[in-house]
Amino acid sequence: MERYSRQIALPFVGKDGQAKLGASKVTVVGCGALGTVSAELLVRAGVGSVQIVDRDIVELSNLQRQLLYTERDAAERLPKALALAAHLKAINSAVEVQPVVADFGGNKAVALLSGSTVVVDATDNYVTRFTINDACLELKLPWVYGGASGSRGMMATFREEGACFRCLFSELPALGAGDSCELEGVLASATTIVAALQVAEVMKLIIAPNAMHGCVLEFDVWKGSFHTIPLERDDRCPACKGGQRLFLADDGLSQTSFVCGRNSVLVRSGPSEVNLGALAGLLAAKGLEVKQTKYSLRVEVKEREIIVFADGRALINGTNDAHEALRVYQAVLGV
């Protein structure tokens, strides 16, 4: 117990609390800026089992904010979940670390979260968060949401007896309306604060669930502002009140297919109809050069060309990797 002596000394943790942590399994969905910090803190805290889920590989641009990854991980283009697991095991060999290199979506979500005590959202898009919400409602699991962009951060905890994520965000944002770290940038201090707050919530859920307050916490580290917003259950919520599990459908609302003979991937991961004029305005406001026709709009971002059609399809030119195409789609279009 010497490893955790400073934690056990806290009156609200103690030996009993430490034993509860050791008997728990926490699943972290996403191994990016939030996921690397939260997974490390959970392992250092002595959570018995930590499962980490991510489909992406380590890139040089990740190292500014995604802690534990090294230049060697980026040079070897290692899967994030595997690279992070290796570093976590070197920190605390007594914790069971379970890396999963996979998409988190559709009917896979429930299976991946089954057996967890708490779930940590360390993702960067709304489709995955809505999927986590549906899966946790189905499994009656608590989960902790987190997000960061620019110098701002947000965090909230959802439990079976309280509000769910769709009480807070009833529908997916319009294409182009969501924040994007790739376009807007992000401070590592903001992502680190969000992840640290998420882990504190996880520890409370495991050790002292009665200590939860049920608020949304927002902050801006550049302005030095922190405030909370009451989180109340919506009696009209289609998910927690209506029982809808739309995001657990087999397709997970995200489909990709290759375009024969071209270095392109066709993506459908959002609404079936798109207001191209409104989308063009949102993307232009983010500093992107948009070319629009009656039937589509075109935008280029970092050697990738995105063509969005009015029926919701998007063609990602410049890659034949489905994971990369979906990442670009989510980063630029914000869902």
Q: Mind telling me the catalytic residues?
A: 181
What span, in angstroms and rounded, lies between the C-alpha atoms of 73 and 65? 14
What span, in angstroms and rounded, lies between the C-alpha atoms of 322 and 326? 6
**What backbone phi and psi angles, to 5 degrees, belong to 107?**
-75, -5
Say what angle helices 188-207 and 14-22 make with each other, to 10 degrees.
100
Q: Which residues pair with 154 in a beta bridge?
A: 147, 218
What span, in angstroms and rounded, lies between the C-alpha atoms of 157 and 141? 11
- Residue written as token pair 């802690």: 67
Neighbours of 115 (CB within 10 A): 12
Q: Where are the alpha helices (DSSP H) in the chain?
A: 5-8, 14-22, 33-45, 71-75, 80-91, 108-113, 126-139, 165-168, 181-184, 188-207, 276-285, 322-333
